[in-house]
């Protein structure tokens, strides 16, 4: 290998978060989302996007009163599926938050990684009905692009003229975290200056919703929907599906400083592993989760005792919460009892492919503001989940190092480490 090649491999650029955009069941935009998250507002309600009466689970975290035309060009809104609409809104908000709208930067060195797990199933449902009722000539020219998972990333790229790296991972519930981790690697290598990264999902529709009901992994607390999502609680009975998108602007530190961009926090570590165990169930000993967390800490160059807060995957399923808690205890040992842990899925539900991105945004805001959101609906301690879950309202603890982790169907595990930004810190 040449000296030039060796220098390229060894160099690691620092990466910071300069913009945050979200569309969630408790609010659209960073400010509304964070305010309601700290207030412990519940975004779970009975499904309104279709009649849920025949379904085992009948509640979801919907993005309330969302009209794409209020946020997007009407023609664009008509030509993309709901999940892409969410992604476009979140990306636009992130760009504005990072002060990139109208800014002068090299668009050939600005890219997009936004994934989805389900993609355009709402379009599949409506267009299949058209096919059966009127035949193939009733299908329009935009059906294919409305369905494709990569449409969200492509439309963000087209809308903002971003010509750098482009991809759209699909790793089930870890997708958003994987997208951010992959974008981090690109920036760390110096292959781009700016990356928009995250996930989008709009799966509260009959086919995916009914399919998840069929897995018996969703809550059936239909007579008490506001308390159905209860991570780590003894009486949890399954996750509550949510929808929305999270997109963040990641930037090489030198580039961000050069344009005097706002900096929320520094992304310093990424771990990514596979269970190689089962298509839906997590590995019983949590080894894949553990290795993802270990990898992220090693990448960040921090010891387990340096971590102050974990924004947990915390789905409210019996198995996940138990196994995740056990993996944390294995990794952190005695320090596990000193960690603050919370799951915002208690308020917004499980946004599937968007979950990791929205939870990363919340983790960054915890580092930036010092506040840790609560896990609402926690009433009874579970001996299998014996850690210090934040459950009595938001806490001001000013964490310096935080982790957020996402684990998905198929055994995908992703973990990200975020630190309070200090310009003088060395790699």
- Phi, psi of 296, rounded to the nearest 5 degrees: -65, -40
Q: How much is the pTM? A: 0.96
Instruction: Answer yes or no: is 427 within a domain.
Output: no
- Phi, psi of 197, rounded to the nearest 5 degrees: -145, 150
pLDDT over threshold 70, residue 10: no
pLDDT at residue 8 in the model: 47
User: Residue 365: which domain range?
Assistant: 267-419
pLDDT at residue 427 in the model: 41
- % pLDDT > 70, the chain: 97
- Tell me how many domains the chain contains: 2
14-29 mean pLDDT: 98
Last residue of a domain, one of 219, 236, 258: 258
Q: Is 419 helix (H, G, I), strand (E, B) or coil?
A: strand
Whether 146 and 241 map to the same domain: the answer is: yes
Whether 279 and 249 map to the same domain: the answer is: no
pLDDT over threshold 80, residue 5: no
Instruction: Answer yes or no: is 425 within a domain.
Output: no
Instruction: Answer yes or no: is 19 within a domain.
Output: yes
83-99 mean pLDDT: 98
Whether 281 and 173 map to the same domain: the answer is: no
Last residue of a domain, one of 210, 236, 258: 258
Whether 90 and 127 map to the same domain: the answer is: yes
3-state SS string over 163-232?
CCCEECCCCHHHHHHHHHHHHHHHHHHCCCCEEEEEEEECCCCHHHHHHHHHCCCECCCCCCHHHCCCCC
Whether 244 and 281 map to the same domain: the answer is: no
| Model pLDDT for residues 337-361, shown as the tens digit of each residue | 999 999 999 999 999 999 999 999 9
180-197 mean pLDDT: 98
185-198 mean pLDDT: 98
Angle between helices 355-369 and 175-189 (to 10 degrees): 60
Q: Do 269 and 416 meet the contact criterion of CB atoms below 8 Å apart?
A: yes
As annotated, the active-site residues are: 173, 313, 350
90-102 mean pLDDT: 97
* Position 425 confidence tier, pLDDT thresholds 50, 70, 90: low
């Amino acid at each position: 290998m040449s000296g030039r090649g060796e220098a390229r491999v060894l160099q690691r650029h620092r990466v910071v978060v300069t913009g945050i955009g979200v569309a969630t069941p408790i609010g659209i935009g960073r400010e509304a989302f964070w305010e309601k998250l700290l207030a412990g507002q519940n975004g779970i309600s009975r499904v309104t996007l279709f009649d849920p009466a025949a379904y085992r689970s009948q509640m979801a975290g919907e993005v309330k009163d969302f009209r794409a035309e209020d946020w997007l060009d009407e023609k664009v809104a008509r030509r993309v599926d709901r999940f892409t609409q969410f992604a476009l809104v979140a990306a636009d908000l992130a760009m504005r938050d990072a002060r990139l709208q109208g800014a002068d930067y090299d668009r050939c060195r600005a890219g997009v990684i936004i994934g989805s797990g389900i993609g355009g199933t709402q379009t599949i449902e409506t267009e299949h009905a058209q096919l059966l009722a009127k035949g193939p000539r009733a299908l329009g020219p935009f059906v294919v692009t409305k369905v494709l998972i990569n449409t969200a990333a492509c439309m963000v790229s087209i809308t903002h003229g971003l010509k750098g790296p482009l991809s759209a991972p699909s790793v089930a519930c870890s997708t958003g975290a994987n997208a951010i981790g992959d974008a981090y690697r690109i920036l760390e290598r110096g292959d781009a200056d700016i990356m928009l990264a995250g996930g989008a999902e709009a799966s509260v529709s009959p086919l995916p919703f009914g399919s998840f009901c069929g897995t018996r992994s969703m809550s059936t607390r239909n007579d008490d929907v506001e308390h159905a999502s209860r991570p780590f609680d003894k009486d949890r009975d399954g996750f509550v599906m949510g929808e929305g998108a999270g997109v963040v602007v990641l930037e090489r530190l030198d580039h961000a400083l050069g344009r005097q961009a706002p900096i929320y926090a520094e992304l310093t570590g990424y771990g990514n592993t596979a269970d190689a165990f089962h298509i839906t169930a997590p590995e019983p000993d949590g080894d894949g989760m553990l290795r993802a967390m270990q990898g992220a800490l090693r990448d960040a160059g921090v010891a387990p005792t340096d971590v102050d807060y974990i924004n947990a995957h915390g789905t409210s399923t019996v198995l996940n919460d138990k196994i995740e808690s056990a993996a944390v205890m294995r990794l952190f040992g005695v320090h596990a009892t000193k960690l603050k842990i919370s799951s915002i899925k208690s308020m917004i539900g499980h946004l599937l492919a968007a979950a990791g991105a929205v939870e990363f945004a919340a983790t960054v805001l915890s580092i930036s503001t010092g506040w840790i959101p609560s896990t609402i609906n926690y009433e009874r301690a579970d001996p299998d989940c014996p850690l210090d879950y934040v459950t009595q309202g938001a806490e001001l603890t000013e964490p310096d190092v935080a982790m957020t982790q996402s684990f998905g169907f198929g055994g995908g595990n992703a973990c990200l480490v975020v630190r309070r930004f200090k310009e003088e810190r060395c790699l």
